[in-house]
Amino acid sequence: MTPEDERWTESCSSPVFVHNPHLEEMKDDILYHFGLGTGTHNLPAMFGDVKFVCVGGSPWRMKSFTEYIAAELRMEDPKSEYPNICAGTDRYAMYKVGPVLSVSHGMGIPSIAIMLHELIKLLHHAHCTDVTIVRIGTSGGIGLQPGTVVVTKQSMDATFLPKFEQVILGKTVVRNTDLDPSLAEELLQCSKKLNQFETVIGNTMCTLDFYEGQARLDGAFCSYTEKDKQDYLNKASEAGVCNIEMESSVFAAMCKLSGLRAAVVCVTLLDRLNGDQLNNSQDVLHTYQQRPQILVGYYIKEQLKKMSRS
Amino acid sequence: MTPEDERWTESCSSPVFVHNPHLEEMKDDILYHFGLGTGTHNLPAMFGDVKFVCVGGSPWRMKSFTEYIAAELRMEDPKSEYPNICAGTDRYAMYKVGPVLSVSHGMGIPSIAIMLHELIKLLHHAHCTDVTIVRIGTSGGIGLQPGTVVVTKQSMDATFLPKFEQVILGKTVVRNTDLDPSLAEELLQCSKKLNQFETVIGNTMCTLDFYEGQARLDGAFCSYTEKDKQDYLNKASEAGVCNIEMESSVFAAMCKLSGLRAAVVCVTLLDRLNGDQLNNSQDVLHTYQQRPQILVGYYIKEQLKKMSRS
């Protein structure tokens, strides 16, 4: 046990784990894609109080979430523009309001994986404890009314198996994609209290491609029929898949490895059984995209109330 | 043969192919992640003259490339700010100067694949012909002086095989990752004429992850030793791998399928045999990142000179 491990044990709080003996030997750690580092930034001072991390694909959406949560928590600063903490790079955007960190991750497993490696190291270097992390995203639904919010039970691959395959030194390692079931249930209860939109708990399929990988008929290439597509999506539905996106599997796997309490909350922008193109108006799509923010914002507010009482 | 196919054959010019019979049946095509569409934009008028497309991960870098190429081609407009054609979305950024289109693609195979599906459809809808496409990117080198530019011969996977695996309806389809050998050779000759930095032709390994997937010792998780890492990179080197990045395989596969003449030109930011962290100064890294732009800018200028003579 290192002195640091002992400190965490004594305080009964849950740290953010890295599993890399080499990190201890490094003088500095450059978090390149954040434009941050242990040698250039005081990470404990900047991030030590973080208790909630919300991540999503679009940088605009993560800035808008920050503005929303600041207002909800009555922490808004009318003079402040909520500066992008990662302003030195254009790979990701990061914002912070009180104990809530908001980070964009781009699209797809590789993009979110780079962000999570550096985020987990950041939270570790900053000595954060008891952190809850939620991905608030968009997805295609299967058999759900567009605008329904799905809280992920299990993240599944394109063959409907709950696993994530990580290639290490050219060999495939299979990782578990379990998410925190109690957190999912708490989020569902929050949605019931809010009573503004439909929320369900279900499985989420995570693919490496948006067009052929999700059986869309509208990509540059398509070698299958409408019937092939419907058969595939129906099989997914039989395996409990409620929605399809592109980041949940590696998110679940990496959060589990690092001891972060994690959830995936995605709104469905369309019902894939009825089409492939996102042809709703921008206004409607924008309203849908706010729903995961509203749900997670409500959850965070409730949690902070509980913490202040205890 | 459709009337459109006949038109291309008669004119002896090479179109951009889509392989999707469903597209013909669609009234409109929404290119969602570009914020463009056939029903809302006159794509032939906006893009019909495009002959060169340059793509790269970072939106800032693709804007800077546009400014650079505008100056090189003496097409700069002192009043113009080179507006982002995809301003309606923050998923990708797109700029155009004369016959040169510049598009960002984010990080990783899924992110560039979404962009390429929509780009190939865009070029097809715009009736573009004889298009050359180049990815100008960054990479980690193996045994090369940092700052060396690598023009990719073959894109290889993490087991050093020249293939890309696309999952379609849950089944894996293997695609060829050949790039245009004559274009690679022309780019090498351009570099010799320029004589500003070292350029080599070699194989490029394309991975799904930046940390564990590239045998880095500085991720949040690492279960192998420095010796394991060196053994893996040495095996890659024996297979002809000169550099490692995260987009070339799907780029090569999709460009080949659509008949685009394609090249991958990446600068190496570090020698992975000597380390994992990007600890050079921002100035040095910035200078390195300009090299693919300079090389491809020179190539485009030479090609346009030839076209104007013929």
Chain B, window 219-278: residues with a beta carbon less than 8 angstroms from a chain A beta carbon: 219-224, 226, 228-229, 232, 235, 246, 254, 257-258, 277-278
Is-contact A44 A94, C-beta < 8 A? no
Residue A77 has pLDDT above 60, yes or no: yes
Burial class (CB in 10 A: 0-12, 13-18, 19+), A1: exposed
pLDDT digits (tens, 9 = 90+) for A223-256: 999 999 999 999 999 999 999 999 999 999 999 9
Class of domain A135-310 as given by CATH: alpha beta
Considering only CB atoms, A166 lies closest to which of B107, B160, B212, namely: B212
CA distance B41 to B29: 10
Q: Give, rounded to a whole angstrom, the gap between the first and last alpha carbons of chain A.
A: 30
Distance from A119 to chain B by nearest Cα, in Å?
9
Q: Which residue has the tokens 């050779």?
A: B185
Best of B167, B228, B241, B283 to substitute, by most chain A Cβ atoms within 10 angstroms, is B167
Q: Is the Cβ pair A113, B210 closer than 8 Å?
A: yes
Q: Bridge partners of B201?
A: B151
pLDDT digits (tens, 9 = 90+) for B174-191: 999 999 999 999 999 999
Contacts of B74 (CB under 8 A, 6+ apart): none
Size of interface A-B (CB pairs under 8 A): 215
For A228, name the nearest residue in chain B, comparing CA atoms only. B169
How distant, in Å, are the alpha carbons of A83, A262, B133, B157 from that of B264? 35, 38, 9, 15
**Could you give the ipTM of this predicted complex?**
0.95
> In what helix (H) or strand (E) does residue B45 lie, and over which residues does it extend?
helix B43-47
In this prediction, residue A13 carries a pLDDT of 86
Contacts of A116 (CB under 8 A, 6+ apart): A105, A250, A251, A254, A255, B220
What DSSP designation does B227 have? H
Contacts of A42 (CB under 8 A, 6+ apart): none
Work out the average pLDDT over A46-52. Answer: 98
Q: Which residue has the tokens 């030109």?
A: B265
CA distance B255 to B235: 28
Beta-sheet pairing, A261-271 with A132-141: parallel
Q: Measured between beta carbons, which residues in chain B are less than 8 angstroms from residue A106?
A: 106-108, 111
Q: Is the Cβ pair A109, B114 closer than 8 Å?
A: no
- Where b means 16+ CB within 10 Å and e means fewer, B192-227 reads eeeeebebbbbbbbbbbbbbbbbbbbbbbbbeeeee
Mean pLDDT of chain A: 95
Q: Which amino acid does the sequence have at B246?
A: M
Q: Is the Cβ pair A213, B117 closer than 8 Å?
A: no
Tokens of residue B268, six digits = 């190496």
In this prediction, residue A79 carries a pLDDT of 73
DSSP annotation string for B192-218: HHH-SS-EEEEEEEE-S-SSGGGT-SS
Distance from B231 to chain A by nearest Cα, in Å?
9
Q: Is the Cβ pair B30, A279 closer than 8 Å?
A: yes
Going by C-alpha positions, the residue among B117, B35, B24 that lies closest to residue A210 is B117
Q: Is the Cβ pair B117, A168 closer than 8 Å?
A: no
Q: Measured between beta carbons, which residues in chain A are less than 8 angstroms from residue B210?
A: 110, 113-114, 117
Hey, is the C-beta of A165 within 8 angstroms of any chain B C-beta?
Answer: no
CA distance A104 to B111: 14
Is-contact B292 B136, C-beta < 8 A? yes
In this prediction, residue B11 carries a pLDDT of 53
Phi, psi of A203 (to 5 degrees): -80, 150
Q: Is B91 annotated as a binding residue?
A: yes
Domain residue limits, chain B: 25-130, 135-310
Please, which pLDDT band fits residue A1 given cuts at 50, 70 and 90? Answer: very low
Low-confidence residues of chain B: pLDDT under 70: 1-12
Q: Is the Cβ pair A207, B167 closer than 8 Å?
A: yes
Q: Is the Cβ pair A211, B167 closer than 8 Å?
A: no
**Cut 0.90: pTM above it:** yes
DSSP annotation string for chain A: --HHHHHHHHHT--B---B-THHHH-S--EEGGGTEETTTS-HHHHHTT--EEEEES-HHHHHHHHHHHHHHTT---TT-----TTTT-SS--EEEETTEEEEE--SSHHHHHHHHHHHHHHHHHTT-BS-EEEEEEEEEESSS-TT-EEEEEEEE-TTS-SEEEEEETTEEEEEE-B--HHHHHHHHHHHHHH-SS-EEEEEEEE-S-SSGGGT-SSSSB--S-HHHHHHHHHHHHHTTEEEEESSHHHHHHHHHHTT-EEEEEEEEEEETTT-SS--S-HHHHHHHHHHHHHHHHHHHHHHHHHHHH-
In this prediction, residue B8 carries a pLDDT of 45
CA distance B18 to B8: 14
DSSP annotation string for A150-209: EEEEEEE-TTS-SEEEEEETTEEEEEE-B--HHHHHHHHHHHHHH-SS-EEEEEEEE-S-
pLDDT digits (tens, 9 = 90+) for A180-192: 999 999 999 999 9
Residue A31 has pLDDT above 50, yes or no: yes
